[in-house]
A and B are shown apart, each in its own frame.
Chain A
Amino acid sequence: MATVQVRYIVHDVDAAIQFYCQLLGFQEVMHPGPGFAMLQRGDLRLVLSRPSGPNTGGGSVLPDGRRPEPGGWNRFAVEVSDLAAMIERLRGAGAHFRSDVILGTGGKQALVEDPSGNPIELFEPLRPEARLQSA
């Protein structure tokens, strides 16, 4: 069961569903309207909201007029066992990468963008203690 919820703002919910489900192993939980969807991958629930009018849910414009938008640098991480293969697959599907492979202390990572430009951290652990397994 998903126990952690993250909200990403996207311009096109359908394109985002396709990207996350077909390329990154998410499952669609619900897609009740064009402006919202709920996806799941392991413990992570990803809710996708399209920028929208006042009091219309997670993508609502703020009372002061500020409008939510995709992007930024904060992101969730997805662990993969073969980063190179994943990058090739995503590039083949036309995904845009912000970075080449970055070597860190616990593993290597690459930053890919969803169709709206939100970052996702792809992470291949190189040390057992860096793995995301909770068991």
Chain B
Amino acid sequence: MVPDPFDALRLPVVPIDPRPEFAAALLRRIQGRAATAARQTATVRYFVADLDLAVEFYCRQLDFEEELRPSPTFAMLYRGDLRLLLSVPGPGHTLPDGTLPEPGGWNRISLQVADLAAVVEALREGGARFRTGLVRGAAVQNVLVEDPSGNLVELFEPLAGYHERAPSRTS
């Protein structure tokens, strides 16, 4: 067999051990690119006095699903794209000055429901406390209800004037 005249010019093929550091870095780069494109799940943390009561309230009355309850002081619930973390205040939450977080306040999640009147009735039957009656505006009617620990939840039903940005404009 006639030797290939270009053989002399070819670089030798040297077998190498794959370097784990390089592979890991490559993987990070690939995944990092995918991660920036991926969405972040919106996460909210509520402090509750009684975890069982809270899980029951959010799951039975407001269509949340229980994802994790790894301890008596923490649960992770989902409702669509919302991840709701429920924490019972404890030593791990104490601030350096001794302050302990507590339920309450006015900041709140705002949940869309299809039939507000029906949801309100079911909540009333379940003994829920409301901060407002049903308020009817141009775009939505809404109501402010409290969870068993006194945390606020805003429920709204879209009306004729409701505006939602079209999905394609924010992609």
Residue numbers of A with Cβ under 8 A of B are 1-9, 29, 40-44, 47, 55, 57-58, 60, 62-63, 66, 68-77, 79, 98-100, 102, 104, 118, 121, 123, 131-135
Residue of A nearest to B79 (CB): A4
Q: Is the CB of B170 within 8 A of A1?
A: yes
Rounded to whole angstroms, the CA-CA distance of A71 and B106 in the bound complex is 7
Give B110 Cβ to nearest chain A Cβ, in Å: 4
Sort chain B's interface into a size bin.
35 or more
Rounded to whole angstroms, the CA-CA distance of A27 and B57 in the bound complex is 33
Determine the chain B residues whose CB is within 8 A of the CB of A29 once the complex forms: 165
Determine the chain A residues whose CB is within 8 A of the CB of B44 once the complex forms: 4, 6, 74-77
Give B23 Cβ to nearest chain A Cβ, in Å: 17
Which single member of B40, B102, B105, B170 contacts A133 (CB below 8 Å)? Answer: B40
Q: Is the CB of A63 within 8 A of B39?
A: no
Determine the chain A residues whose CB is within 8 A of the CB of B106 once the complex forms: 9, 68-72
Q: Is the CB of B137 within 8 A of A134?
A: no
Q: Is the CB of B165 within 8 A of A1?
A: yes
Q: Is the CB of A74 within 8 A of B47?
A: yes
When A4-B109, A66-B131 are in contact, do A73 and B101 touch as well, CB less than 8 Å?
Answer: yes
B25 sits at the interface (CB 8 A):
no
Q: Is the CB of B43 within 8 A of A73?
A: no
5 contacts between A and B (CB under 8 A): A7-B154, A29-B165, A60-B135, A76-B44, A134-B40
Which single member of B42, B92, B104, B105 contacts A3 (CB below 8 Å)? Answer: B42
B39-51 interface mask toward A, CB cutoff 8 Å, 1 = contact, 0 = none? 1111111110000
B101-118 interface mask toward A, CB cutoff 8 Å, 1 = contact, 0 = none? 111111111111000000
Rounded to whole angstroms, the CA-CA distance of A37 and B62 in the bound complex is 26
Q: Is the CB of A4 within 8 A of B80?
A: yes
Which single member of A2, A98, A104 contacts B170 (CB below 8 Å)? Answer: A2
